[in-house]
Structure 1
């Protein structure tokens, strides 16, 4: 886990190329100032901005003057920072409920949320405490870091509860509608044509727009949402695999197992055994 200040002094002269990480993180800003480049977007930083950075999210090329006047913190961590019981294998960390906000595809840009003004001092204090614990490493610091990180992620989860609303705020009305349809209807049979009809555009236009804006097809997003729920049910229930398949939109148990296996490299039963015990 790493906590770092974000401001003019935190970026040296010169520039940094666009990059992505294979671990999650957040960037929180307590004051207006500077810009952040996420994906193809350049965003002017405002007080209370919280960027939720999923593994694979592309952070744009950074220049020395980008964060002039900015005041903020970056917090980056691996799943095991939440405790030894947190699934740590490839993809398994996504089943942790506090990490759901970080499962948004990594194809457009970091999710941008807003911390209400009444809570900004509390957010700053929480992150400063994390930084203090990691810097001084006094007895019990590991437990303290884990506890403060959990509270921080609870705050992220609450702010990210309405991801569709965030997409609308960021001028993505079509994507907001598409994800709204997927969220409401993924447990039932759902095709590209049905999503297109629900948002009142042609399947061809929907396909090209969603692929261009997110790097994925509509069907891939439907499958992703179903797999998130399938992993959660495998991790926190003892339901039979066939029942889980039906609950996430796969009435054919064999098709569910084949789809899950293709994406995870093992069957649902094996995944549960390896990642849950």
Structure 2
């Protein structure tokens, strides 16, 4: 059995077709799904303002994929995301062989030689997609930076697997612009989730950034000075601030403001508390200062936010 299997080929405005081997026998794994966007259609989609930034060219789901394996001595034309939700497998990149278990995520940059496959005794269940576009290199680089290596680990792979499933469903619905944009959005969300929540290995302790974020989440709305936060996680203030900006896109103080503002929105939407009480609940003794901070974050005052028209 080869790793290649039933391929659903999506053609512009046509129904999906199933490709079989030369003998007309479908190959693959029971319950699998695999979709490939035809090259001419992918080339056209890369000229679209949205899918040109991030385009999924192949996607699939291989349950209990016994004897699954792939070797690409010259790499692939696209970046590849592999997510293991059960069993185990392996991946060789840059001459290093990694073990991939449940929750393991492998992100392989385009054009990089690699090989991967399922473990013989407990073959993995794999969700995956190939992606390209102008933003793809930055996303792949950010994922590697967050993981600290080629392989990262998710405590719970289900959210990312669900997003890959959405990618597959979108492509399976037909090759329309909206379907491909939907697939791109789900893929972006999946990659962002890996970047935000991945860690080095299944048994590793929380990273300094994870410990800092966990502390801020657990102590909101109380404000923690950056010097104290850095000391808690064994880093200098400048190192921690750089880590926040690199991986979260904001400073530690800005992240704390975001957490407090998120709590403020919950209270504005879900309670009848007056604005002064909400300010105190979110760590602001001065209601006017709270209102200015809220307006800076949301472009409206807390009162305007509470009375805004809601979509039905």
Name the structure, 1 or 2, with higher relative contact order (CA <8 Å, separation 6+). Answer: 1
Structure number with higher strand proportion: 2
Structure number with higher helix proportion: 1
Larger Rg: 2
